[in-house]
Every structure is written in C-alpha cells, then in structure tokens.
Amino acid sequence: MRTRLSRLAFLRGVLPALVAGSLLVGGLGCKSDSTGAAGGANPAAGGGDGGTIKIGHYASMTGDTATFGIETDEGVKLAIKEINAAGGLLGRQVELETQDDQSKPEEAKTVATKFAADDKIVAVIGEVASTRSIAAAPVFERAGIPMVSPSSTNEKVTQEGEHIFRVCFIDPFQGKVMAKFAAEELKAKKVAILREQSSDYSVGLADVFKAEFEKAGGTIIADASYKTGDTDFRSQLAQAKDADAVYIPGYYTQVGTIARQARQLGIKVPLMGGDGWDSEKLVEGAGGPGKALEDCYFSNHYSKDDKSERTQTFVKAYNAEYNKSPSGLAALGYDAMKIIAEAIKSGNSADREKIKDALAATKNFPGVTGDITIDENRNASKSAVVLQIKGKEFVYTKTVAP
C-alpha cells in the first residue's frame, strides 16, 4: 500500500515536471519507467512495453548440492507468486528463468554468459555456493547486470564488483560465532578441523574459525583437508581422535558421510558446522534421525522457529505452497527476490543500473531472515542462529548478533 501511494505521488508530482504534458498520459497509461524519457542501458527492460520483468536465477538444481538450488528456487518462486498476485512491479508481471549449473563452477560461468546475452534479464539471483558465485560474478559485472547472492558467505563474492550484492552475513562473522560457541558453550579446549580444500567457503570459514578459536584460548589439534567428491575421510578423521569437538565447514553431502565415518572410528564428540549443513538431505546422509549427527550444532541464517510475525507468515505461506518447512536457503531466496522487487519499486525502474543503485541504497528492509541493510561493500550485516540437530529437526538454540 505504502509503495502504491508513493508511486502515485511520484506520478503526480515529479513525472509531470520531467516530461511534457502530452507524454504524461502515455506515461501513466503504460506504466513505463518513469524516467523513461532518458531510457536505460537495456531497452527491453526500460522500454515500458508492458511485457514482463524478467529475473534470472542460476542454481544447483542437480549435482552434489542439488538441495541448495532447489530450496532456494522454491523461495524465489514463492516471492514472485506473491509479488504478481499483488499486481506485479511497475504494473508488469515478474517472470523467472531458472538455469541449472549442476553444482559446478564452470557451469555457473556458462549459465551466467547465457543470461548476459539475454537483454530482457534485468537482475539475477544466485548462487548459493561461494565458489560458484565467484565464478559467475565477473560475467554479470561486465554485463552490468545486478546479481544478488542469497546465501554465498565468502568475503570475496561481493568484491567482484559494484553490481554484486548479497542478502546474508559473511564468514568472518559466521566463523567467529561457532568458535565462540565451541569455547564458551561446549567448553571445548581442543578442536580438529576438516576442510574442503577447493571450496572458497570451506577454506575461508576454517581459517576464521581457527584464528578465533585460538584467540579464545583453544588449540587446533588437527587441520585436515578433503577434496570435492571424496568419499573416504578416515585418514583425516584419525587425526581428530583426541578432540573435544570437530569443526566441519563443508556441504551436507560430504558432511553426512564424514559424520558416519567419524562415529565408526569411535569419535563421539560433537561435530560442528556452518550454513553448508542446511539441507533437507543432511540427516538422511548421516544415517538417518538419531544417528551420526544427533545433537550436533551448526550456524545458520534463520530458524523457522523464529516467533516474529513476518517469519511465521512466511513459514505458513511456504508450508501451504510446498507442504514442508522452509530452510534457511528458501528464506534467503525469498528475501533476495523481495529486495530486488523493492529496488525496482523504490527506483521506479526496471533498468539494470537503476536497480543496482536502488539495491545499494537498501536500508532496513524487513526480510524474513532479519532486517536487511546493504552496506558499502554490498553485504548485509545480520544475526546468525545456532541450530541443534534433533531427529530430523534443526532446533533453535540461540541467536548471535553481529
């Protein structure tokens, strides 16, 4: 409602001053870019032809981390459904094109190149995995297409250029959250780390955890690596025998196997991780509810148990749509789409550069994952939650503010 009013006010006040009276009728009628006289870098988006506003989503719909893409896409689609039901943006319906990158960085780049060749695309959502966001971001930066990563947390992602944004916190914060949790809540003195060496996310998070845990007085007794695709982690886990806890900042597929092998080797201590554990397949991969990951902890972006009205409204809508609870990924996908929509409304334009500028100016947007303010590095500073695995559920334990 508020947006409608401000749009009306804009049309009544500013627009007449910008364009000649004869153009005004047409301007109102076709609900074009209000600054349409000047046009935009991409004519299809700014032309006010009454066509759809097209958003791209590049995601791991298949492959190693398929639930990342699938769950995010569900969140994005729910947001678009709500936006369109409320009349769309600038009087136009929103259209989504999702492209599968098969969980591979090279494919993410290929798909980005495809999107860059489509001048109807005004903004892009993606990726989840930092390495894939880092692979694709330079393509969007060069093409001048604003990209909003819902959930890539490695610091480097948004350093790729001024068109690259995210709606989540970053790993220097996330790593500290779990290091403090290990030291203060678990009272761990000796921790072993298992990192995925080709993942920017895993390496970055492991480095932060190590530094912060040592700062808190703890000792890292082992810091072992594995590769994407590895399935045998026993030699690395052997180094963790005397640890009070093991930190595994990896992705759910391998984490499940690592957890099972750790228990087979007699390692009984808590395993800890980051948002990369967030998947409806995590527990299944660890042998099922009550098995290798029971009672373990990971940091994440949001909890479906958050009592705030906006989160609960979202959880209900998501449940009604998909008959399951939304993961953090779904919630962030939803928020990514909503801040793009807000940028199109507040900038009153579907022109790529204008969307970029409006995204950069985002302040206190009420997301379902928390308030989103985009800072000068195009990151969002937000709270993290620590979740505990109980059966199939991820149970909320605490919130940590930045």
In the complex, the smallest distance separating the C-beta of residue 161 from ligand PHE, rounded to whole angstroms, is 18
In the complex, the smallest distance separating the C-beta of residue 137 from ligand PHE, rounded to whole angstroms, is 12
Q: Report d(CA 276, CA 128) in Å as an integer.
A: 9
Exactly one of 70, 78, 129, 143 binds ligand PHE (CB under 6 A); that residue is 129
Q: Give the footprint of ligand PHE on residues 324-343 (CB under 6 A).
A: 328-329
Q: Is residue 154 part of the contact set for ligand PHE (CB under 6 A)?
A: yes
Q: Which of 363, 318, 336, 307 is nearest to 168 (CA)?
A: 336
Q: Is residue 389 part of the contact set for ligand PHE (CB under 6 A)?
A: no
DSSP state of 377: T
Exactly one of 42, 103, 153, 362 binds ligand PHE (CB under 6 A); that residue is 153
Q: Give the footprint of ligand PHE on residues 65-94 (CB under 6 A).
A: 68
Q: Is residue 152 part of the contact set for ligand PHE (CB under 6 A)?
A: yes
Of the pair 141, 278, the CB lying nearest ligand PHE is at 278
In the complex, the smallest distance separating the C-beta of residue 131 from ligand PHE, rounded to whole angstroms, is 7
Q: Is residue 128 part of the contact set for ligand PHE (CB under 6 A)?
A: yes
Write out the two tokens for 259: 């957890």
Exactly one of 34, 130, 158, 311 binds ligand PHE (CB under 6 A); that residue is 130
Contact region for ligand PHE (CB under 6 A) — 9-17, 30-38, 102-110, 149-157? 149-157
CA max distance for the chain: 80
Cβ partners under 8 Å of residue 153, min gap 6:
130, 166, 168, 169, 170, 171, 174, 201, 205, 274, 275
In the complex, the smallest distance separating the C-beta of residue 53 from ligand PHE, rounded to whole angstroms, is 26
Exactly one of 169, 201, 334, 365 binds ligand PHE (CB under 6 A); that residue is 201
Exactly one of 75, 88, 105, 276 binds ligand PHE (CB under 6 A); that residue is 276
Of the pair 46, 250, the CB lying nearest ligand PHE is at 250
Of the pair 42, 151, the CB lying nearest ligand PHE is at 151
Cβ partners under 8 Å of residue 250, min gap 6:
194, 195, 196, 199, 202, 226, 258, 273, 276
One DSSP character per residue, 231-266 reads ---HHHHHTTTT-SEEE--S-HHHHHHHHHHHHHTT
Of the pair 32, 257, the CB lying nearest ligand PHE is at 257
In the complex, the smallest distance separating the C-beta of residue 146 from ligand PHE, rounded to whole angstroms, is 19
Write out the two tokens for 120: 């109807």
In the complex, the smallest distance separating the C-beta of residue 45 from ligand PHE, rounded to whole angstroms, is 29
The one-letter amino acid code at 306 reads D
CA distances from 52 to 84, 95, 158, 163, 374 (A): 10, 6, 28, 22, 27
Q: Which of 160, 197, 147, 195 is nearest to 175 (CA)?
A: 195
Q: Which of 114, 146, 158, 167 is nearest to 45 (CA)?
A: 146
In the complex, the smallest distance separating the C-beta of residue 48 from ligand PHE, rounded to whole angstroms, is 37
**Neighbour-count burial for 288-308, b at 16+ CB within 10 Å, e otherwise:** eeebbbbebbbbbbbbbebee
CA distances from 265 to 150, 230, 235, 237, 328 (A): 37, 18, 10, 8, 31
Exactly one of 278, 306, 335, 351 binds ligand PHE (CB under 6 A); that residue is 278
Q: Where are the alpha helices (DSSP H) in 19-57?
A: 21-30, 43-46
Q: Give the footprint of ligand PHE on residues 89-118 (CB under 6 A).
A: none
Exactly one of 32, 151, 346, 379 binds ligand PHE (CB under 6 A); that residue is 151
Question: What are the residues binding ligand PHE (CB under 6 A)?
Answer: 68, 128-130, 151-154, 201, 275-276, 278, 328-329
